Amino acid sequence: MCRALSVAWWCVVLLLLWVVSGPPVQAAGAPSVSAQAAVVYEPQSGTLLYRKEADTKRPMASTTKLMTALLAAERLSPETTVRVPAKAVPVEGTQIGLAAGDTVTVRDLLAGLLLASGNDAANALALLMAPTMADFADRMNEKARSLGMSHSVFVTPSGLDEGEHGASARDMAVLGAAVLEQPVLAELCAATTATVTVAGRRMTLTNHNKLLRLVDGCVGLKTGFTRQAGRCLVSAVRRDGITLIAVTLHAPDDWDDHAALYDYAFSQVRQEALPSVSPAVCPVAGGTRSSVPLTCRLPSHGILLAGEALTARVYLPAFVWAEVSQGQVLGEVRYTAGDRLICAVPLQAAQTVPARPQPSFWTLVWRRLGQLMDGLLT
């Protein structure tokens, strides 16, 4: 009897642990997806509107090329003409037909990378930025850390499976948001076709991302597939001024998954204008002025979830010491919805406030002597 009660007790404990540690329950109406891992990400506030195994590291195939493209956009001029390094070809998997020594612009390599998913283009860009693939992987991982991608390891520039190469769905959404901030990459990811020239040969590339034609407002980003990773997809959709990013890893029905995820996620968000706030000045101690006017550049709108109310709060010190430089950040305005941070806007000094000139030692001595003489005479 006691043993039966003990077994029943442990069953209850295990059930409770499963409930507490199990995957988060989605809001009512959230779709069921084929993906083993999935997120929908709102980049302005960093909010996940949908999650399934969001922080589990998995192979992500050619969606890796978003990192290669991001580094290239930051380090190489798009209009520069380069020669394809011999070590970049040949390579297994999808290619755009590069040969060692071919002349091509960085922009056209990026088009081959993002639209046609050329592994040869990925290798060429990598070797233009680093002496070896291992060195380039180090740069990829350094960039990942700077973006806060804490569940990612990059080994190859193309996404071919090797070693610990993999990333979480949340991390890939963060990467997608960074890619969209680069104008040349945002333009290419949204293009259905692109004409490129390689060593005088012109070719038209077709974007592998069918969501550009299937989903209203789709503006990118990148497909991927290997046998180990399965079908992977990072996409972005912009509707009514709101941009959302969806990621699915190992998703047999990724096109349908993304369409359903966006229908759900856009029903959960709305735009709201951000109100201006005061104070307009910050007190200054030891300066030629007693205060300095403040300025800030507010986003026009914040993204709120259904049922949320927007609040704003100013964070400033009681005073700052001079000298204050124009543009110096003195505080911030935080816009929140409950415990969720919508955005934080820096408050900057609108002008310079020099420090008051300090009297010399002898000036202070004579001033003190004068005070003593005044005391003796009165």
Given this model, what pLDDT does residue 16 score? Answer: 44
Q: Give yes or no for a contact between 136 and 126, defined as CB atoms under 8 angstroms apart.
A: yes
Alpha helix (H) residue ranges in 221-278: 254-266
Q: What are 280-308's pLDDT values in tens digits?
A: 899 999 999 999 999 988 887 889 998 89
Given this model, what pLDDT does residue 377 score? Answer: 67
* pLDDT exceeds 70 at position 350: yes
The H or E element that residue 145 is part of is helix 133-147
Q: How many helices (H) and strands (E) does the chain have?
A: 10, 17
pLDDT band at 26 (very low <50, low <70, confident <90, very high): low
Q: What are 155-199's pLDDT values in tens digits?
A: 999 999 999 999 999 999 999 999 999 999 999 999 999 999 999
* pLDDT exceeds 80 at position 360: no
Which residue has better confidence, 210 or 7? 210
Across the range 236-259, mean pLDDT stands at: 97
Q: Which of 36-50, 237-251, 316-330, 360-374 has the lowest mean pLDDT?
A: 360-374
Given this model, what pLDDT does residue 28 score? Answer: 58
Given this model, what pLDDT does residue 226 score? Answer: 96
Q: Give yes or no for a contact between 303 and 44, defined as CB atoms under 8 angstroms apart.
A: yes
User: What residue type is 235 in one-letter code?
Assistant: S
Q: What are 73-130's pLDDT values in tens digits?
A: 999 999 999 999 999 998 999 999 999 999 999 999 999 999 999 999 999 999 999 9
Given this model, what pLDDT does residue 12 score? Answer: 44
Instruction: State how far the Cα of 123 lies from the Cα of 91, in Å rounded to an integer.
Output: 8
Residues 6+ apart with CB under 8 A from 140: 67, 68, 71, 154, 157
- What are the angstrom distances between the C-alpha of 21 and each of 17, 164, 167, 200, 248? 6, 26, 21, 58, 22
Known catalytic residues are 62, 65, 117
Q: Within 10 A of 321 (CB to CB), how many other CB atoms are there? A: 11
Given this model, what pLDDT does residue 275 score? Answer: 85
Given this model, what pLDDT does residue 370 score? Answer: 72
Radius of gyration for the alpha carbons in the chain, expressed in angstroms and rounded:
28
Q: What are 33-72's pLDDT values in tens digits?
A: 999 999 999 998 899 999 999 999 999 999 999 999 999 9
Q: What are 196-233's pLDDT values in tens digits?
A: 999 999 999 999 999 999 999 999 999 999 999 999 99
Decide: helix, strand or coil at residue 21: helix
Given this model, what pLDDT does residue 29 score? Answer: 82
